[in-house]
Structure 1
């Protein structure tokens, strides 16, 4: 059928798939010159299938919402009805997962909000979807979800004669308990299915698995799902609670308000700011920032100690935390007051705020402070220069003796010995812990046991490994950046820059930003590693930060720059003194701490 023209305008180009009653084609609307999708009923379709096909058309044609695929035209060829709809080419919903603490996690929650809003519109029109699966929620190229495939849709007022038990219609993996039992359905059955889709997307696995459909349906009806954090410890508690509420066994217990995930999204954005490099994926991608064109210096704060590499600021509940000299500094941004928690040795690693404050020091201890008091400490016996990685109840600490220590509170779970010093924090991505060592190897570990899955040769690494959309971006001290696929274990590309790379990378949707000791900021294409643009900025030790369309860089010469995605400087401040820690973008201001221990607050208004 390739090349066939339907209705005098829709030329079929390639098959996109075929189901029990219809096939879907990518086509070109030759009248308007745009790509579309055509759903065409099979010639062997039985009368009930034909009726359900036409029911899908009627259901879709009355829906006008950005989160629902749009019907564009209807026709018939050789007695076979077809309808034309917008082409959605970004893949299935579960491709957004699994959940990560960088921008990927934020994208899943934003998409969940959009699907909840689309379902609210659907249900307001008196329509139940009845077969919500990852394959029936497609993504645009920009990552926006579109609910589609209404072949089993149930029009509450118009199709009562077509109702059949959910036991025979629907997808068992995502089916609500009442649908599995063949009971009458309400819109909350779709919400349960969405909960199952989100569970799969967040964790990589559906809530229930079994040898056959009967086993899966039994679990939907009678068994509680495992907590999502048991499969993916990066999932915040608020997100897990929202998903589990959708998976409640009784329909009346499932929340139906579209804003269900808005509060978890806000909590997650705050959580990202409380973790170095904006999350355990270490992407340098922060959730928000003011317009840098309107920035001006609003104040200075004396931190009372040196803020040196590889330190980093983190933010939680109106306060900024940073290691400065032999102390952990807490700055209240509202009042400007500074509080220091003095420690026996120099704080040589960025802190992490998760309920309490985790701070590691040169004496080899990682401490958890809560309410200005020591809650517990764990000893590695070796110097630490890397931020602890906190995943649920577990704390992973990379030390200068080449060991990764896994603690549960102060109890040592295991120790993995790499072949060289560990200067950079571990990166948790796609279910594995990645350690980049000064011996020039990248180690991939099982986070539960510390068992080595594999290792690959790189070159010595001092800065954190960034991760985004299933790819690791490895900055080496010798001045190379590697893009590495951790599943295929293949190097996708590597690009050399002049000078050592001391600070972490920053990533946006398409680019990798890197600055080295040669004084040049570079934007590299994520797919190819090719240089898109470069800019002379000065020698850089600090990591880069990205937020809201701009890269923030601070230099050893005391320059602080905001650079847009075209490589144009939109804001600059000079005379700050040497800076060795990354700028921290917040909603209303950007913070820069210099080596001498002065905190500069650049704000708007």
Structure 2
């Protein structure tokens, strides 16, 4: 069908009781659009709702709301033309994972909040906000659409007088379920339900029928989202529950709600080695490396050796140095050292305290200078603990993964070989790589083995992103593995052992090995995009703000852009075995000799 001699309908995108949506080609401008066309047998009330949707959309000009481009009628059937949004539904962003994927969900949530604020400022309620009614552009930007149930506040009386409920039960506000008059807070509740589904993979309430679901919306409280997905930070879960308050006046409506959650989440990631439970090596921010200069140098009082790693929390940096835990105040430059009985052999983690593992097989948790808690394993701990909410997972050289909940033992899992790499949490599973050449996938609550995959000896943490695991092996191979289908998509070989962690940027996997070459691999195919001679690398790689930061055993600290071009280099630091730490205002490099170099813009 050709509408108005201009819009050629190409393929159906969806159909409802009132209208159908088509992908179309605007032959006049040569662009693809979406066309919503009223069914030929539509009843007068449906025609009225259809035209109401057009009137509502035509008043809205916001990047977070789908834009109406044209309006017409063909053979008595009204239609309107919209921009085509092709990135899928909102819930495809989930479930929540630590790392850039979590950033995208929180940023998208903030953008939808802003779109709703614009919508409500124009006196319009959506009334049917669901994941399918928030589409994503190819770049991941959300756009609210499908205003078939929207109404103007000043025109709403005749639509609510009948007393029957319109909307989707899974995402419906309690007052909407009861047929009461609605305010903009009803849309915020629906957004909370959409976010709950996106973050956890499950809606806040489930039941055998619509009435059972509506009853729960009105009378029951949802579980905290982090109870279903422990990767969700508590602050993010609280923000979602704030939208799901039963009474409209109690719902959080601050436009900065998820921007604040995003900032808190990014700060939390800095307190974890490899930038989060997905071990992606992707850090939130870094200064422009082309303008870096040495800002200062501090003495740490001992060697900073592999497999150490710096973490940042509350303006302080923590690192294991010899037989001590070092705390550096970045504001004052003060270096404080907490002496320990044995050498620190694992990167520290900051989550409600500072966890640090050592050669004596103990993991200690400090709060300030106070030793708050410790647990003892069967052998030395050389991998950073994984802290998820109230759970802590510790990999030990005796081949056992120890799990704790609130300091009480939760379970133990015995692998077939030494565990030298930190566990990775991704897609609801706990992954543990072993030196015996197997990757184990465990239930994070019970420790039950879901499956295992033959890989090769694993010494560096498994990274995750784009729905895949990227597995570095000691023998110099990197595997891209789908943890849900259990299929290996590709593998790439490098020359020399892989000692340090990978870094991901969403499209590429960066790997450096003992052969002295930094490589960028296409994350989808494993093909080499570029390679660069840098020198032998022990430390893991770090990625932030479009650049890979790499430090070598051969006295080089480099920042490399996505094209493989060196944009900054410093020498004279000595050998480095600890990954560089990108922070919003500076980049830190700790040398093997125990010097902390601070590079900042200036």
Structure-2 change in CA distance of 1:385 and 1:165 (3 Å): farther
Residues 224-373 of structure 1: pairs in structure 2 closer than 5 A: 224-373=221-370
Structure-2 change in CA distance of 1:165 and 1:404 (3 Å): farther
1:98 is aligned to 2:104: no
Once residues 410 and 218 of structure 1 are traced to their aligned partners in structure 2, the CA distance between those partners, rounded to angstroms, is 37
Q: Per-residue deviation at 1:161?
A: 2.6
Q: Per-residue deviation at 1:247?
A: 0.5
> Which of 509, 523, 533 pairs up with 1:536?
533
1:150 is aligned to 2:176: no
Once residues 218 and 411 of structure 1 are traced to their aligned partners in structure 2, the CA distance between those partners, rounded to angstroms, is 37
> Which of 158, 183, 194 pairs up with 1:161?
158
The farther-off stretch of 444-453 and 529-538 is 529-538
Once residues 214 and 573 of structure 1 are traced to their aligned partners in structure 2, the CA distance between those partners, rounded to angstroms, is 66
Q: TM-score, normalised by structure 1?
A: 0.98
- 1:363 touches 1:381 (CA, 8 Å); kept in 2? no
The farther-off stretch of 36-45 and 183-192 is 36-45
Once residues 265 and 410 of structure 1 are traced to their aligned partners in structure 2, the CA distance between those partners, rounded to angstroms, is 28
Q: Per-residue deviation at 1:495?
A: 1.1
Structure 2 spans left out of the alignment, 5+ residues: none
The farther-off stretch of 232-241 and 163-172 is 163-172
Q: Per-residue deviation at 1:266?
A: 1.2
Query: Partner residue of 2:479?
Result: 482
- 2:234 touches 2:389 (CA, 8 Å); kept in 1? no
Q: Per-residue deviation at 1:160?
A: 3.4
- 1:359 touches 1:366 (CA, 8 Å); kept in 2? yes
CA offsets per residue over residues 450-469 of structure 1, 9 Å max, x none?
A: 00000111111111111113
Paired residue secondary structure (1:258): coil
The farther-off stretch of 409-418 and 328-337 is 409-418
> Which of 543, 547, 571 pairs up with 2:544?
547
Q: Per-residue deviation at 1:479?
A: 1.0
Query: Partner residue of 1:59?
Result: 56
- 1:165 touches 1:183 (CA, 8 Å); kept in 2? no
Paired residue secondary structure (1:15): strand
CA offsets per residue over residues 244-279 of structure 1, 9 Å max, x none?
A: 111010001112221112222111111000001000
Q: Per-residue deviation at 1:33?
A: 1.5
Query: Partner residue of 2:186?
Result: 189
Once residues 394 and 162 of structure 2 are traced to their aligned partners in structure 1, the CA distance between those partners, rounded to angstroms, is 53
- 1:466 touches 1:474 (CA, 8 Å); kept in 2? yes
Paired residue secondary structure (1:230): helix
1:443 is aligned to 2:440: yes
Once residues 519 and 408 of structure 2 are traced to their aligned partners in structure 1, the CA distance between those partners, rounded to angstroms, is 43
1:499 is aligned to 2:496: yes
CA offsets per residue over residues 397-455 of structure 1, 9 Å max, x none?
A: 01111110112344322110111111100000111100111111111000110000001
Q: Per-residue deviation at 1:168?
A: 2.8
Q: TM-score, normalised by structure 2?
A: 0.99
> Which of 583, 593, 596 pairs up with 2:593?
596
Query: Partner residue of 2:84?
Result: 87
Once residues 245 and 565 of structure 1 are traced to their aligned partners in structure 2, the CA distance between those partners, rounded to angstroms, is 40
Query: Partner residue of 2:513?
Result: 516
- 2:466 touches 2:506 (CA, 8 Å); kept in 1? no
1:380 is aligned to 2:377: yes
Once residues 494 and 578 of structure 1 are traced to their aligned partners in structure 2, the CA distance between those partners, rounded to angstroms, is 30
Q: Per-residue deviation at 1:509?
A: 2.3
- 1:378 touches 1:411 (CA, 8 Å); kept in 2? no
Paired residue secondary structure (1:315): strand
1:400 is aligned to 2:387: no
Once residues 69 and 100 of structure 2 are traced to their aligned partners in structure 1, the CA distance between those partners, rounded to angstroms, is 33
Query: Partner residue of 1:458?
Result: 455
CA offsets per residue over residues 178-221 of structure 1, 9 Å max, x none?
A: 00000000000000000111111111111100010000000000
The farther-off stretch of 562-571 and 151-160 is 151-160
How many residues align? The count is 602
The farther-off stretch of 552-561 and 258-267 is 258-267
Q: Per-residue deviation at 1:166?
A: 7.6
- Give me the CA root mean square deviation: 1.1
Query: Partner residue of 2:10?
Result: 13
Once residues 258 and 163 of structure 2 are traced to their aligned partners in structure 1, the CA distance between those partners, rounded to angstroms, is 27
Once residues 407 and 19 of structure 2 are traced to their aligned partners in structure 1, the CA distance between those partners, rounded to angstroms, is 59
CA offsets per residue over residues 101-153 of structure 1, 9 Å max, x none?
A: 11111111111110000000000000000000011011111111100000000
Paired residue secondary structure (2:154): coil
Query: Partner residue of 2:574?
Result: 577
- 1:165 touches 1:179 (CA, 8 Å); kept in 2? no
Once residues 5 and 504 of structure 1 are traced to their aligned partners in structure 2, the CA distance between those partners, rounded to angstroms, is 55
Structure-2 change in CA distance of 1:304 and 1:164 (3 Å): farther
CA offsets per residue over residues 290-318 of structure 1, 9 Å max, x none?
A: 01011001111111111111110000011
Paired residue secondary structure (2:155): coil
Once residues 512 and 425 of structure 1 are traced to their aligned partners in structure 2, the CA distance between those partners, rounded to angstroms, is 19
Once residues 185 and 158 of structure 1 are traced to their aligned partners in structure 2, the CA distance between those partners, rounded to angstroms, is 12
Once residues 22 and 439 of structure 1 are traced to their aligned partners in structure 2, the CA distance between those partners, rounded to angstroms, is 59
Query: Partner residue of 2:114?
Result: 117
Q: Per-residue deviation at 1:42?
A: 1.3
Once residues 409 and 40 of structure 1 are traced to their aligned partners in structure 2, the CA distance between those partners, rounded to angstroms, is 56
Residues 184-223 of structure 1: pairs in structure 2 closer than 5 A: 184-223=181-220
Query: Partner residue of 1:172?
Result: 169
Once residues 588 and 494 of structure 2 are traced to their aligned partners in structure 1, the CA distance between those partners, rounded to angstroms, is 28
Structure-2 change in CA distance of 1:458 and 1:183 (3 Å): same
Structure-2 change in CA distance of 1:540 and 1:166 (3 Å): farther
Once residues 155 and 434 of structure 2 are traced to their aligned partners in structure 1, the CA distance between those partners, rounded to angstroms, is 64
Q: Per-residue deviation at 1:239?
A: 1.1
Once residues 75 and 569 of structure 2 are traced to their aligned partners in structure 1, the CA distance between those partners, rounded to angstroms, is 67
Q: Per-residue deviation at 1:35?
A: 1.5
Q: Per-residue deviation at 1:164?
A: 5.9
- 2:160 touches 2:179 (CA, 8 Å); kept in 1? no
